[in-house]
Amino acid sequence: MGAVRIGIDIGGTFTDITVLDEATGRLAIAKVPSRRGDPAGALVDAVRRGLELAKVAPGDVTLLVHGTTIVTNAVLENKLPKTALLTTEGFRDILEIGRHFRPDMYDLQQDKAPPVVPRDRRFGVAERTTATGEVIREPERQEVQRLLAQVKESGAEALAICFLNSFVNPANEAKVRDWARAELPGIHVSASCEVCREIREYERMSTVALNAAAMPLVARYLSEIAGRVGAVLPNAKVLLMQSSGGSLTVGAAQNYPVRMLTSGPAGGALAVQRIGKATAYDNLLGVDMGGTSTDISLIHRGELRMTTEGAVAGRPVKLPMIEINTIGAGAGSIAWLDSAGGLHVGPMSAGADPGPVAYGRGGTEPTVTDANLVLGRLHPDRFASGDIRLDREAARRAIAERVGAPLKLSVEQAAAGIIRIANANMERAVRVSSAEKGYDPRSITLVAFGGAGPMHAAALAQAARIPSVLVPEQPGVFSAVGLVMADIRHDAVQTRVLRGAAITPAAVAPLYAALEAEADAALAEDGVPRAKRLLQRTADLRYAGQAYEVNVALPAGTLDAAAVAALVLRFHDRHLQSFAHNHPDKAVEFVSARIAALGLMSAPPIQPRAKANGGAVVPKERRQVYFDEAAGYVATAVYDRERLGPGATIAGPAIVEQIDTTTVIHPGQKARVDDFGNLLIAIGS
């Protein structure tokens, strides 16, 4: 056997393992329970499981791509290492003041997220750079040394540095950074000019503070796994998944851990993109529905939609990341009535413990899973590989008592109502990601994955006017596929505001030249050979006077007058597409130059499966399943996913069961299995 890649995604409950044979493109996937408390041990465990599973010799593994949530969890749980901040004197509270807009208009009891660095570890340096980049006050070494002594005294393990206007001229910031590194050898130092050279001080400060705070955590973790992985996989290079959908080398991950902050759902989005490439669907909407939340991503003309306006737990992260809309609607979302008898679903969730009423672990409030069970969509004995036996009677009682009786609905009507509302919550999020961004839902294929996605996808697509649904072969572990497909990636940005006629090749070309040199050096440091390096340019533009920019692609090649003119034209088009109007006669402003530097890992395309016997297949059983549109129970065919080979066709209503999920096909809908083993559902109008 030739070169093999392993992808390992360690989540809170499960660890997903993917093994890819580079020569054949063959994938093997597995899901094992996560081991708590010892993430490095869990990683090594998972590696061993992967080797066993795919019958691979350890020496054949050339690449291990790892997705980890240790940074995300530390942020969500407010358990980041002690961190200090140096900023311009007079501005140390920017990190805590934020933008002071409250997310709920009426709630007097709301709080804001505590700052990553508390006030007693935030220090002001007497220094100043103007908006045009002129240094009007240089930092004084003695003063800075005094502050650095206080930083050390405070017990901080990490130090973030962010000065006003450092995105224009980082000289002062870089100087203080160098002093800090010299004076504080045991403390991790991160400066905003290295992490995010973009305008808007609060967002930049938040990003670098999170980066610094994550550095000690990630350094400890990576040094622990380096030895242990090396012992098991002698020939494997280790890469880490980042929020942008690219991967990072261990060295880069230590310096820029904030880039991994939302890497969890990134794997899923990347897998959706790859399946689109294989199946030639250009526009796809990924719907990853788990127990407590649903992650929605969009691929347009083969490209993932990206954003630089992400946030985690109320803290902005101003870095390119895959745009993922996460909503609090999942299989464990709780159905509840307000005081006037209005029915709502979520955002509270029963989680895995106690879980839905049907788990019989003490849950009393009905959830979406309970509703699916009551309606016959889930089989009580075949849930989660049969590990959990579901108690249908208990679910019925809870829904009848808590929803049905107060609303004078039958238990089935109440359960169907819960599902309709959960779907409507998801539908709103689907619209935010598609129609509201100017994408026509009729051109989109919905890719349903996660444990609960395929159960809701057909109804969701119908409501959102999306004509087809694709359910991949192993929806429960689909996200892990993205890991082994990721290219190495570095993103770099430089804000330089240029208005109208000032957007010239002479002004723009040097920006990209500098960014490209920097990005190319980063790839070289990662050991990416020249032939595998790909640099992609984009630019953030807006109409002069607007505050928000539109990101527009800029082709490689000479940046001459024609290229600049074409860039401006593309901006007008994008503005029209996204906001339904544009102003071709208005002055355009160039705001930031961006480079995405890819180290191509040349993952083989997903291979079609061997043809099996196509045509109609025989169901393994029929059972009574309730459908709204039929206003009652319908004798419904039930199929085993494993036995549906390429070419198989199914007519709804139907249920397709497999180890990690259940797919619901509604009356009137038709489904078939494509050459790659995907189940395609055609949604009637």
Partner 1 sequence: MRVDPITLEVVNNALVGVAEQMAATILRTSYSTVIREMLDYSTAVFDPEGRIIAQSCRIPIHLNSMSRSLRTTLDQSFPKIEWHEGDIIITNDPYRGGQHLPDIQTFLPVFAGGEMVAICGTLGHHLDVGGMRPGSYAGDAVEIYQEGLRIPPIKLFEAGKLNQRLFDLIEANIRQPEQTIGDLRAQAAALEIGRAGVLDLVERYGAEGFRDCMLDAVDISESRLRERIRELPEGTFEGVYYVDDDGVVDEPIRIATRITIKDGGIHVDFTGTDRQRRAPINATISSCESATYFAILSILDPTIPANYGVYRPITITAPAGTVVNANPPAPVVGRNAITHTIVNALMMALSKVVPERITAAYYGMSNVYILSGEGEGADRRGWILFDIEVGGGGARATKDGLDCYSQGIHNLANTPIEMVELNYPLRFKRYEFIPDTGGAGRFRGGLGVRRDIEFLDEVGAVETQFDKFKVAPFGLFGGGSGKTGRLVLNPDGPAPRELASKNVNLRLHRGDVLSMWTQGGGGYGAPAERAQEAIQRDLREEKIGRAAARADYGHARAAE
**Interacting residues toward partner 1 by CB under 8 A:** 90-94, 96-97, 99-109, 111-112, 118-120, 130-131, 164-165, 167, 199-203, 338-344, 407, 416-417, 420-421, 424-425, 427-428, 431-432, 436, 497, 543, 545-548, 575, 578-581
Per the CB < 8 A criterion, the answer to whether 88 and 128 are in contact is: yes
Q: Output 384 or 497, the one with its CB closest to partner 1.
A: 497
Per the CB < 8 A criterion, the answer to whether 480 and 16 are in contact is: yes
Q: Which of 664, 620, 62, 77 is nearest to 372 (CA)?
A: 664
Q: Output 234 or 342, the one with its CB closest to partner 1.
A: 342
Q: Which of 319, 320, 328, 340 is nearest to 296 (CA)?
A: 328
In the complex, minimum distance from the CB of residue 37 to partner 1, in angstroms, rounded to a whole number? 29
In the complex, minimum distance from the CB of residue 610 to partner 1, in angstroms, rounded to a whole number? 43
**Cα 181 to Cα 72, 116, 187, 195, 511, distances in angstroms:** 26, 21, 8, 16, 28
In the complex, minimum distance from the CB of residue 673 to partner 1, in angstroms, rounded to a whole number? 31
Name the residue type at position 83: T
Q: Output 201 or 323, the one with its CB closest to partner 1.
A: 201
Q: Output 379 or 437, the one with its CB closest to partner 1.
A: 437
Q: Output 199 or 596, the one with its CB closest to partner 1.
A: 199
Burial of 271 (0-12, 13-18, 19+ CB in 10 A): buried
Burial of 237 (0-12, 13-18, 19+ CB in 10 A): middle
Q: Output 129 or 663, the one with its CB closest to partner 1.
A: 129
Per the CB < 8 A criterion, the answer to whether 261 and 398 are in contact is: no
Per-residue DSSP letters for 329-348? Answer: --TTEEEEE-TTS-EEEEEE
Q: Output 105 or 618, the one with its CB closest to partner 1.
A: 105
In the complex, minimum distance from the CB of residue 382 to partner 1, in angstroms, rounded to a whole number? 28
Per the CB < 8 A criterion, the answer to whether 172 and 129 are in contact is: yes
Angle between helices 561-579 and 505-525 (to 10 degrees): 80
Per the CB < 8 A criterion, the answer to whether 388 and 435 are in contact is: no
In the complex, minimum distance from the CB of residue 306 to partner 1, in angstroms, rounded to a whole number? 16
Q: Output 247 or 592, the one with its CB closest to partner 1.
A: 592
In the complex, minimum distance from the CB of residue 552 to partner 1, in angstroms, rounded to a whole number? 15
Q: 3-state class of 139 per DSSP?
A: coil
Q: Output 513 or 544, the one with its CB closest to partner 1.
A: 544
In the complex, minimum distance from the CB of residue 132 to partner 1, in angstroms, rounded to a whole number? 9
List the beta bridge partners of residue 489.
Answer: 598
Q: How large is the C-alpha radius of gyration of the chain?
A: 26
In the complex, minimum distance from the CB of residue 566 to partner 1, in angstroms, rounded to a whole number? 23
Cis amide prior to 354 (ω within 30 degrees): yes
**Cα 144 to Cα 78, 122, 147, 257, 471, distances in angstroms:** 29, 13, 5, 26, 58
Q: Output 330 or 451, the one with its CB closest to partner 1.
A: 330
Per the CB < 8 A criterion, the answer to whether 651 and 617 are in contact is: no
Q: Output 346 or 356, the one with its CB closest to partner 1.
A: 346
Q: Where are the beta strands (DSSP E) in 456-557?
A: 468-471, 488-499, 533-543, 550-554
In the complex, minimum distance from the CB of residue 463 to partner 1, in angstroms, rounded to a whole number? 8
In the complex, minimum distance from the CB of residue 320 to partner 1, in angstroms, rounded to a whole number? 18
Cα–Cα distance between 376 and 573 in angstroms, integer?
Answer: 48
Q: Output 111 or 381, the one with its CB closest to partner 1.
A: 111
In the complex, minimum distance from the CB of residue 549 to partner 1, in angstroms, rounded to a whole number? 10
In the complex, minimum distance from the CB of residue 127 to partner 1, in angstroms, rounded to a whole number? 13
Q: How many CB atoms lie within 10 A of CB 592?
A: 21
Cα–Cα distance between 12 and 497 in angstroms, integer?
Answer: 43
